[in-house]
Amino acid sequence: MTIRFDDRVAIVTGSGNGLGRIHALELAKRGAKVVINDFGGSRDGIGSSSEAALAVVEEIRQAGGTAIANGANVADYEQVQAMVRQAVEAFGRVDILINNAGILRDKSFAKLELDDIHAVINVHLMGAMYCSKAVWDLMKEQNYGRILMTTSAAGLFGNFGQANYGAAKMGLVGLMNMLAVEGRKNNVHVNTLAPMAATRMTQDVLPADLLKITGPELATPAALFLVSEHAPTKLLLSAGAGVFSGARMEETAPVFLSTEPTPEDVEEHLARITDWNSAAPRTDAGQQVGMFVETALKGIQAGNN
C-alpha cells in the first residue's frame, strides 16, 4: 500500500538543506503540508538567514505542494512555540514532527570548549526536546502524532572527536524511549532514525568514495515510514546508501551472585554476567526492574533452602 500524507501537517526542522530538505520534499510530494524550519546558520551554528527555507518552500510550491517557511532557532523555546502557532494558524493542526536540525563542532574532548558542548547539545537534544514539548499537547488532544528523532552512529557506537555530538545523539534515543511510553495511549508514536548521508554536516567526516553513494534521498525512505500512519513506536532504524538496519538497547539475563556481593565476585562471574547469547531488549524500565527483583528473590530463596 502506498504511504501517503494527505491532510497531514508536518514540521521538519533544519529542512533548508541536506537530509531535512529531502524529508520535506518527499513529504510534500506525498500530500503533506510542510513547515520548512531552518535557522539558516552555518554548519557550526553561526549566523542566520531565511534564504534556504524560502528556497525549499518555492521548490515545493513549484511542484504543486503546500509549504511555509519558518526561521525559528530550535534551541529557543519561545521561538519554537511561535513556530507551532504559525503551523496551526496556517494549517489547523500538526501531525508530524521530524527533529532533524543539527550543528557540528567536532574537536577532541581535550580541546572542546564549554561553548562547543553547550551549543551542540542545545540544538540537537534541547532543540528536539523543545519542539516535541511544543507539539505534545496538540498531538495528544487530536489523538494522533508522529515524532521522529535523528540520532547517529557516533552516539550509538562512538566516534573520535564528537563527544558533544555523540552525547546529544544518544540523549535523543533516551528521549524517544520516554515519549514512546507516554504517547502510546494517545496514538502518538515516537521513533528514531540514524542516517548515513552525504550532506554539509558530513562532507569532511565521511570518506569521498562513501559520499558518492550516500545521497540523503537514500535515507529518507526510512524517515517517511517512521512518521507514517502505520508506523510502530519506539523503533530505531539506521539508513544510508540504500541499506537499512534496526538497532536497539539490549541487556543480558540478570545473574544473582549473593546478598553480599563483592567486586571480586563480579570479576569472577563477568563472563556469565556478560553472556550476550542471553541478551534481549526490555519494553521499559519497569520490566528491567521486575526481572532484577524476580532474580534476586529466586536467588535468596534458593540460598535459604
Q: Which of 77, 130, 144, 165 is catalytic?
A: 165
Quick one: pLDDT at residue 47? 45
Quick one: pLDDT at residue 303? 80
Other CB atoms within 10 A of residue 274 CB:
11
Active site annotation includes 144: no
State the 10-residue block means of pLDDT for the chain, 305 residues long. 97 96 98 95 55 96 98 97 98 98 96 97 98 98 98 95 97 98 98 81 59 81 98 97 94 97 98 98 95 95 83
Quick one: pLDDT at residue 50? 80
The kind and range of the H/E element at 236 are strand 236-240
User: What is the distance, to the nearest Å, from the Cα of residue 3 to the centroid of all Cα atoms in its chain?
Assistant: 21
Entry pTM: 0.93
95 is written with which cell numbers? 501531525
CA 233 – CA 280 distance, rounded (Å): 18
Exposed (0-12), middle (13-18) or buried (19+): which is 13, by Cβ within 10 Å? buried
CA 305 – CA 123 distance, rounded (Å): 56
Quick one: pLDDT at residue 197? 72
Evaluate whether 225 touches 244 at the Cβ level (below 8 Å): no
**Residue that is written with C-alpha cell 548521508 in the block:** 197
CATH code for the part of the protein at 9-247: 3.40.50.720
- Would you list the domain boundaries of the chain? 9-247, 263-304
